[in-house]
Amino acid sequence: MKNISQQVSADQHLQLVLISVDPIRDNPERLRQYCDKFQLDPRKFTLLTGDSTTVYSLMGEIGIQTNIIPADSTGKNMGYMFTHTNQINLFDRQGRIRGEYGGSMVPPENISEDLEKLN
């Protein structure tokens, strides 16, 4: 997503929204730390989380699959791993999905070109 933001010209309207698919662990402070760690420009990036019901409902609406894998099947360790679909969605200004991409597999310039078509 950061690479995509660097491909887009300054005059293009772009808001990159990252939604945590792990609302149990990710709170606003953790999202701020993530933003700082990866040096995401807060003028371009919005990081969101919410309660589990809302987040999982949204994931279902946009076709992102999630899976929680217990780290220890004995139940002694309460940790877990979280997997999710590697997906980027491009929305137009009316909130309609105009493109779906294979996350880290899509060249940033492909999304940038599609974005130019929407503006």
Whether 10 and 113 have beta carbons less than 8 Å apart is answered as no
Identify the band that residue 102 occupies on the pLDDT scale cut at 50, 70 and 90: confident
Whether the pLDDT of residue 74 is over 80: the answer is: no
Domain boundaries, given as residue ranges, for the chain = 2-107
Structure tokens belonging to residue 106: 């899509």
pLDDT given at position 39: 92
Residue scoring higher pLDDT (14 or 52): 52
The reported pTM is 0.77
Architecture, CATH, for domain 2-107: 3-Layer(aba) Sandwich (3.40)
Whether the pLDDT of residue 72 is over 80: the answer is: no
Strand partners, 83: 67
Residue 26, burial from CB neighbour count under 10 angstroms (0-12, 13-18, 19+): buried
Whether 13 and 118 have beta carbons less than 8 Å apart is answered as no
Percent of the chain with pLDDT over 70: 91
Whether 55 and 49 have beta carbons less than 8 Å apart is answered as yes
